[in-house]
Chain A
Amino acid sequence: MLYALCFLLFMIGLYCAVVKKNLVKIVIGLAIMEYAVNLFLIMLGYRVGGTAPIIGRSDLQAGAERVTAHFINSAVDPLPQALVLTAIVISLGSLALLISICIRIYDKYGTFDITEIRRLRG
């Protein structure tokens, strides 16, 4: 169910990027798409009532086998969080470049409307 909502968010972003005529709105659509993917990645690793995937020294003294079993059953998968961190940095880079190109386009054409920015054809 949650995954479906996440996918819906992705489709909203895609719709916005494809249909909107304003450069800034297109960029917002792209950002929504990226957030939807990040959210999806986070949810892959999430667990209701999970704990942080860290084993402390005091835990180990209680008996290794029981701790390991408890760890496997309750710990959250940390890898997607690392992936999302990387993905956020990447999308920050591309978003900054997109916005700066929007500003340069506004300088040249004096508009954000893509129907008026049409010098390339064919």
Chain B
Amino acid sequence: MSRVLPAFVVAPLVMAFILPVFGRKGKAVATLLANLVTISLLALAVACVGKTGIYEVGNWSSRIGIVLVLDGLTSLMLLAVNTVSAAAMLFSVRYMEQYTAKTKYLSLFLLMVAGMNGVVISGDIFNLFVFLEIASIASYALVGFGCEHEELEASFKYMVLGTVASSFILLGIALVYGNTGALNMAYTAKAIQQTGINAGLAFAMSLFIAGFGLKAALVPFHAWLPDAHPSAPAPISAMLSGVLIKALGIYALSRLIFNVFGVSVPVSWVLIALGVLSMVVGVFLAVGQWDFKRLLAYHSISQMGYVVLGIGLGALILAKHGNPLWASLAILGALFHLVNHAVFKSLLFLTSGSVEMATGTRQLKKMGGLVERMPYTRAACTIASASIAGVPPFNGFWSKLILVIAAVQAGFFGLAAITVVVSLVTLLSFLKVQRYVFLGELPEELQNTRENGGSMLTAMFFLAALCMLMGLLVLVPSMRVTVLQPAVDVLIEGVSHSMKVANL
């Protein structure tokens, strides 16, 4: 199965360079081709579930060449990235008609997908950096795609912070190479095991936390996200909030901490602190927002806090040699919440795009009563809101429940309480969304609002169905064992996993 791994990068990359050739006249063909690529990548990602293997690029041995690795965590991330990108691409078919230069948009979109898939499958640190930059540069351009005042400003802000983050990461990689003499994750992990963490490596670790923290928009580093995510076109907001901050930030960080450096107590506490801060600050900033997409963007910060908290808890239990079952429960909750968040947050951004396209505004106070005009969008939005707020039986409930149980089991009652309170505040702010957008009086100027049909509805229905069904991933044991558990095991096994993959 590892033979198909390069396709995840090559297919979107090649198509990204072919599409601009079609220009304005071949717009329909270009759209069709782009959708074909994302949907076939989704099929490929589904086929990769439960498989493992490595692919040596150009048949160079893993000692000196580049390797692509497929393991449990990779296949879970591939599934998340390609599900959201397929839905967002389908949504763009109609939504992007309001912009000019649609083929350039499609090309940048595919470039971003190629970068994210590359980050996830790459088995050495420098290659991860290259793909991270491909995805980042495409996303900077997409944030400023509208070329209006706010969009350019947000894009510039995002680019400056993103470039600083990349420099931190590259400096960290240089330090790791200087101290271990290897870039391949498995060889680096082995060298670190033998020498232990010295001052240079500890400095590299702190650079990685700052760099990937900036990419993931954890709270002290979050300033760019509430500007950048709302400024992008709605399908791109869905991609950025749904998967970009996870693949580039959280996935890369946890891969380095667990599989390369090995868990340690101080790093786990830093993760827990970042997680709690993001959760609490994000949600309280979100409640006061009156811009629909900005509110959603702040909730992304808050929900990422849950994921980082779960991963930090797992790392802490592992580092203190506690019961591995509890560690595995915490990480299971975190990874499951990561996938769930990818689905419901992208659905929320798609519904906000649908509402914006129909009404022409994002201000909650200017809307109201849209339930009669846009019943399907309303249904999708309600499902997603219930998921993010943790209302049973939707997917968000199960992952938050697992996180709370894990926190209680590990003896962190305070953290469990904070998790529940943040969840309640989230519910409150989404009740506000429902109240102001869909219920109440229909304003005069919105009398002629119509539901958006076709591809936009299909994309929203697809994600809404996933929101309702994904609880099964933990409830049905056979699905849990094939999809989620391998990903959890990768992180639990830690450093020894990377060596097992490379046969060291």
Residues of A within 8 A of B (CB): 10, 13-14, 17, 23, 26, 30, 33-34, 37, 40-41, 44, 79-80, 83, 86-87, 90, 93-94, 97-98, 101-102, 104-105, 108-109, 117-120, 122
Contacts and interface: CB of A to CB of B under 8 A. Distances in A.
A87 B171 CA distance: 11
B159 A101 contact: yes
A85 to B, nearest CB: 11
B177 A101 contact: no
Contact of B177 (A14, A44, A98, A104): A44
A20 B163 CA distance: 16
Contacts of B451: none
B160 A26 contact: yes
Contacts of A44: 174, 177-178
Nearest to B160: A26
Max count, chain B CB within 10 A of own CB: residue among A13, A79, A94, A101: A101
Contact of B130 (A33, A90, A108, A118): A90
B141 interface: yes
Interface in B236-253: none
A119 B171 CA distance: 33
A40 B156 contact: no
B150 A120 contact: yes
A120 B150 CA distance: 7
Contacts of B159: 94, 97-98, 101
B160 A30 contact: yes
A44 B174 CA distance: 8
A34 B147 CA distance: 27
Contacts of B226: 122
6 contacts: A30-B163, A44-B178, A79-B183, A98-B159, A101-B156, A105-B153
Given A37-B170, A97-B159, A101-B159, A120 B154 contact: yes
B464 to A, nearest CB: 29
Contacts of A79: 177, 183
Contacts of A87: 170
Nearest to B143: A101
A87 B148 CA distance: 31
B294 interface: yes
Contacts of A102: 156
A102 B150 CA distance: 13
Contacts of A23: 156
Nearest to B164: A17
Interface string B432-469: 00000000000000000000000000000000000000
Contacts of B130: 86, 90
A93 B147 CA distance: 19
A116 to B, nearest CB: 11
A23 B263 CA distance: 40
Q: Closest 10 interchain pairs by CB?
A: A33-B167, A90-B133, A120-B227, A44-B178, A41-B174, A37-B170, A30-B163, A105-B152, A37-B171, A108-B149
